[in-house]
């Protein structure tokens, strides 16, 4: 049985954990951090809807994230925090059925840098029942 794969390319450098945490400080912080999350998810949703034609993707899936940064200034775990934004956006727009244990069975991160083309490449592989 052949597994189906879906690829999404997000042509942007997504905010990391430090960006989110720095916004969340202070009295209005969580409101500002949530606004940032919502805006990032809208951008991801728009991008994904234009690239994934077969939806919803059948669960369970394995997801690979290839993070391409413009430089090596951010820590890898700080960068990979943005997978939360990606997964939440894909669930909200119905590309993924959910992002819990039944729906996602594996997550993998790889990293590279290209100064002129930061992006995130998301490969979603249906792994069957």
CATH number of the domain to which 97 belongs: 3.30.1330.70
pTM metric for this prediction = 0.92
pLDDT for the residue numbered 24:
81
End-to-end CA distance of the chain: 12
Q: How confident is the model at residue 129 (pLDDT cuts 50, 70, 90)?
A: low
Domain count, the chain: 1
Residue, of 23 and 57, whose pLDDT is higher: 57
Q: What is the mean pLDDT of residues 5-31?
A: 88
Q: How confident is the model at residue 121 (pLDDT cuts 50, 70, 90)?
A: very high
The DSSP call for residue 94 is T
Q: How confident is the model at residue 55 (pLDDT cuts 50, 70, 90)?
A: confident
pLDDT for the residue numbered 2:
59
pLDDT for the residue numbered 7:
97
Cβ-count burial 77-111 (b if 16+ within 10 Å, e if not) = ebbbbbbbbbbbbbbebebbbebeeebbeeeeeee
Six token digits for residue 10: 């997000």
Q: What is the mean pLDDT of residues 47-66?
A: 93
Which residue range is the domain that position 106 belongs to? 5-126
Q: What's the mean per-residue pLDDT of the chain? A: 93
pLDDT at 89 over 90: yes
């Amino acid at each position: 049985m052949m597994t189906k794969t879906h690829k999404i390319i997000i042509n942007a450098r997504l905010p990391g954990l430090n960006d989110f945490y720095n916004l969340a400080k202070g009295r209005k912080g969580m409101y500002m951090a949530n606004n940032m999350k919502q805006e990032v998810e809208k951008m991801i949703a728009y991008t994904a809807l234009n690239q994934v034609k077969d939806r919803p993707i059948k669960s369970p899936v394995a997801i690979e994230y290839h993070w391409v940064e413009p430089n090596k200034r951010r820590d890898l775990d700080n960068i990979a925090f943005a997978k939360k934004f990606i997964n939440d956006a894909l669930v909200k727009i119905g590309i993924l059925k959910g992002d819990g244990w039944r729906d996602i069975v594996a997550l993998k991160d790889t990293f590279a840098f290209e100064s002129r083309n930061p992006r995130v490449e998301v490969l979603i592989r249906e792994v069957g029942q």
